Structure formats: structure tokens, C-alpha cells
Structure 1
Amino acid sequence: MTTTMVPETWFEEDPRKQRSRGKLLDAAAALLTSGGLDAVTVEAVTRISKVARTTLYRHFGTVRQLRAAALERFLPPPAEVPESEGTLRDRLIELVHRQAVLIDEAPLQMSMLTWIATSDPTGTNSGPEGASLRLHLIEQYRRPFDDLFARPDARAVLGDYDATTALARLIGPVVFIRLAGLGRSTRADCRRIVDDFLTARAAEPPAS
């Protein structure tokens, strides 16, 4: 009995689908850059990408889904957790500084547009895709803090601390500095942010 070997590539995603999705996102990103969210329409994206409307809807159920996917391209990635050497303070300063560098390197106009578009937690104005992207981004950016706070030495200092709250306290000031046009967050800025965070946490009463 002869066994037919199925090529591994058969199980991979069709490269034509990858190319068409990439073309759609490239077109949507170009429209976002030149005209903002309202410029990203099905007609404009299919015209620029030369991808059929039916193909667009196979990749993205709605134009909001397409806009959300294109917006995500412009946001800085989450920073990686520093190695275990040093105190919790040292590693927090390094983590916040790494994220600050990524934020500072991101295109300001598009980052601002993305944060604004995903700032509605209920999806009343941005729709379910905007709310979904917002939750995705929160999970993505809090992951390094989850990893760091799960370590025994961090738990000994911080206790059972919510990483989303930490993200707001530690990265919020960095984002504000960037969006307000106040310059870039230096390592000294990150050091002050972390010290303020640790001081405030130490002053908080223990959870009952």
C-alpha cells in the first residue's frame, strides 16, 4: 500500500491570500496617513490596492475591521521584559524606558489617531471593532508587566497588583509627554515615574 505524502505547504495559508491582505492593509494605511479614518472606505481601498471588493470582505467583515487592522500598524510594539538581574526598581525603569523609546519612535500623528480611535471603551462611537482593538492593545501592552509582576521578588514588593493599573501609572505619563508635544521621555524621566509609582504603592493600605 502506497502512502501519499501531503506537502507541508498545503497546510500553510495560501500566499495569495497573504498578498491580497497585505495590499489591502497597505492601501488602508496610505489612506489613513493622507486623509485620516474617514478616507479609508471600501471604494478607495479597493481602487488603490486593485483587490476586489469581495476579497476585501473575505478578509475584513466591515470597513471598521479594516480600519482597526490598519491602525494597529502604527502603534509601537510592547517592550520586552528585562532580564532578571537587578532590583525590581531597576527592571521597572528599564522596562518603562524601553517602552518610552518605542513610543517616541512611532509616528506621532498616526499614534494619536489610533489612541483616539480606540479610546471609547463601550464602542458607542468607534464601533465593536474599535472596542475590540482597544482591549487587544491593553492586553498586549500589559503583558510585559504581567510577566514582571508575577515574579516572586515583585510580588513581595507589590503584592497582588493589577497590571492594567500599573500600565496606566507607568506608561500613561510617557504617552502624555509624547502626545502633548513636550519632548521625549528620558531615562531620568522614567526613573522618576517608577520611583513615584513605587512610593505611591508603598503608601497604599494592604488589600483587605
Structure 2
Amino acid sequence: MNKDIQDIFSRNEVIDKIAFLNWRMESGDIVNLFNLGDGYFDSAIILCDRCLSKNKGKIADILIFPIFMNFNHGIELYLKGLTLTLNELLKIDIKIDGTHNLNQLFSVLKARIKDLDGQKKANEIVKDNFNLREYLNELTTTLNPNQKNDKMDFSRYPFTKKEGNHFYVDTWNNIEVDLENLKNRITIIYQKLEQYADYFYYERLQENN
């Protein structure tokens, strides 16, 4: 290795200039999904704040993609963590679906809540998290009107798996995102998913162990 290049995985003499990958991780624990989700949600909010405070050179036009990537992946991690929590509460050994389809993951979570606490509780979860439900509906309508593929890679690549362009590439019309509204929705959805994690994982699952 070039002596002038320092390893990325190395120590800085100033502790506040070090990131510790393992400090919030626990061996084989569901909470790791929530901890990673926190990072993705926080990153999305920080990037929104950056664009709202100083959008010189219209940097928001390109940062919007990692914002959506972080937002959606934060949702995915929380939904999967919650589903694994419900699986343990139900004492069922079902592997978590590897899909990135947020609508499908939300549906599985609702089904697990129904199995654990009944249909009324599952309906309350959907009603209580109106912002998430509406966001997922909007994604479905915007990204995939024919509902044959979730196309959640729209923020990672400009083209689909079949090498067709995503919805924002070929249009002459502006595809606009209200950053203030987006930050508000991210914050509300994040807070609500945290509440579910506190209730199902920390209050119910940890109390049973």
C-alpha cells in the first residue's frame, strides 16, 4: 500500500473524529436493524436540512437521490426489524423477506400484528401511521402505476433492472419535491416507527425474555 495513504479503518487521535462501527451493535440481535435504520433516517433529515439552509448551485437536485435512498432504507430496516420482533413474540421461525418492496413489508407487518393482537390492533397501526401508508401509496402511484414491480431502486440508479429509464429521466415536465414537506414526513414516519419499536421490541419482547 502507498505509504502516503492511510487505511480507512484506522484510528484518529481525536476521539470525536472517529466513527465506531460496533458501538451500537449487539451480536445477533434485532436491535441492530433499528440502530442502522436510525442512521439512515438521521442522514436523510441532515441532508434535507443542508439543502434547506443552503441550496447553492441547486445541490438539492442531486442530493434528493441519497435523501430518498436513506429515507426508504430506514423504513425498510424498521419494518424488517419489527416483523422479526413480531415473529419472536409469535414464536414462529420465518425468515424475513429479502425484498425491498416497502408495501409488501408493511403488509407482512400488519399480518403479524393481526396474528398477535387481532385485526383491531392491526387496523389501529395502519390508522395510527397514516403518514407512512400515504407515502407508500404515493410511491406506488408515482413509481409504478401498473404495480408489477416496486421499482424502489429509482433513487439508486437512473434506469430499471430491465434497463429502461426511471420516471424522472425521459419527461420534459419538472418532477418536483417540496423539501420542507419531505423533511416533515420523514421525521413523523421515523418517530412513529420508533414508537412501534419501543412498544413491540423493548416493552413486550424484552419483558418476555
Shorter-chain TM band: under 0.3
Higher share of residues assigned helix: 1
After TM superposition, the score normalised by the length of structure 2 is 0.27
Larger radius of gyration between Structure 1 and Structure 2: 1
Greater relative contact order structure (CA < 8 Å, 6+ sep): 2
